Amino acid sequence: MKPPRFWSGGKAGALGSVAQAAFTPLSRIYEWAGARRIARTVPVEVPPFVVCIGNLTLGGTGKTPIAIAALETFNERKITAHSVTRGYGGSLTGPVRVDPDRQTAEDTGDEPRLLARVAPTWISRDRVFGARQAGVAGAKAIVLDDGYQNPRLGKDFSILVVDGEAGWGNGRVFPAGPLREPVAAGLARAQAVIVMMPDGETEPDLRALDLDELEIPVLTAWLEPVSPPPQEKLVAFAGIGRPQKFFDSLTAAGGQVAETRGFSDHHPYSPRELAELRDLADGHGASLVTTEKDWVRIPAEYRTAITAWPVRAAFREPERFKALLLDAMDAAKAEQLEDKTS
């Protein structure tokens, strides 16, 4: 789905204003139903330490790179960590462990394939079942790459990720805006917030994001390239929450971008579209480049002609991010021990 312009928070225009007003009653129902579900659900606790990486808006904010960074933090400390995800865009309902050699992106969706490179990853529409399977398989920590608004599985530590440029959009709940729930309600359940910026030099406007008076930690992060972009002329395409972010990053890193094509998030590329992209690149005497998330969705027979440009999460205070996770896990262990002995 491509977000409508009036979600962005700028001038909506006449049609945007009409649409926003028309959708407002539906937004109130959506908000009420979500709040009621959260209030009435008793979370199921599981033995592993559960970290949830979530967001409050529809579309990409950079959750998956943050989830990967969390998994890597546990790996560094020799803590067995698994990831559990709904597997958006895939056909598998689970619980099933991701096996990239036997499953395709049509089976799993794109994000689970990236997570599975770092740690054992489980797809489960019912996250409680998935978390239990991960625990049986030896997980001491579980990282959820989604599910912030799903109250069924108990969470020990929740991190909200927000795009520092897009912010909360027009501040309205879906479908009148991009919010999954009101900002204040979402922030009230978080133990930390990560603001994703375009680079390490740009300061986030915490006041504009209503984060300047929060009593929980607010960290700054950004996506940085793992390697330089290809040196030849490029045609870049992406089907992520905000494709322009990828194009801007590619240009900022020195990529010679001749033309770009943006698609909706999790877009399934057809042979016809891939052939058109190939023709477009040939017309420019260029090579095709895309994100890792897009690349894993492309059929294997087309991948050899397309370069994936990988990025990773970088933190202004990397040790603080790690300490937040590890200290929270230690605190949860201590609480479990106290409950057992009391």
CATH number for the domain spanning 245: value is 3.40.50
Distance CA(327)–CA(337), nearest Å, equals 15
The answer to whether 223 is annotated as binding is: no
224 band by pLDDT with thresholds 50, 70 and 90: very high
260 is in an annotated binding site: no
Asked if 152 and 232 sit in the same domain, the reply is: no
* Distance of alpha carbon 164 from alpha carbon 209, whole angstroms: 8
Q: Round to whole Å and give the CA distance between 180 and 136.
A: 32
Say if residue 293 carries a ligand binding annotation: no
| Selection from 255, 333, 334 nearest residue 287 by Cα | 255
Tokens at residue 261, please? 């094509």
* Euclidean distance between CA atoms 303 and 325, whole angstroms: 36
Predicted local confidence at residue 3, as pLDDT: 77
Looking at the fold, whether 59 and 173 belong to one and the same domain comes out as: yes
- On the question of pLDDT at 112 being above 80, the answer is yes
**What percent of the chain is modeled with pLDDT above 70?**
97
- Do 217 and 261 sit in the same domain of this protein? no
Task: Give which of 303, 258, 270, 278 is closest to 113, Cα–Cα.
Answer: 303
Which residue in 277, 234, 274 sits closest to 258, CA to CA?
A: 234
Enclosing H/E stretch for 12: none
Determine whether the annotation assigns residue 171 to a binding site. Answer: no
Same domain for 216 and 287, yes or no, is no
In this prediction, residues 218-245 reach a mean pLDDT of 93
What's the pTM value of the predicted model, to 2 decimals? 0.92
Average pLDDT on 259-273 reads 93
State yes or no: 62 annotated in a binding site.
Answer: yes
Residues 6 or more apart whose CB falls under 8 angstroms from that of 213 comprise: none
Question: Domain limits at 336?
Answer: 49-224+314-341
Whether residue 197 sits in one domain with residue 54: yes
pLDDT at 320 over 80: yes
How many helices (DSSP H) and strands (DSSP E) are in the chain? 11, 13
CA distance 64 to 161: 10
Nearest to 223 by CA among 65, 83, 100, 28: 65
**283 has binding-site annotation:** no
Q: What band does 114 get if pLDDT is binned at 50, 70 and 90? A: very high
How many CA atoms lie within 13 Å of 227's alpha carbon, on the beta-carbon side? Answer: 9
Residue 85 labelled as part of a binding site: no
Residue 19 lies in a domain: no
Residue 35 lies in a domain: no
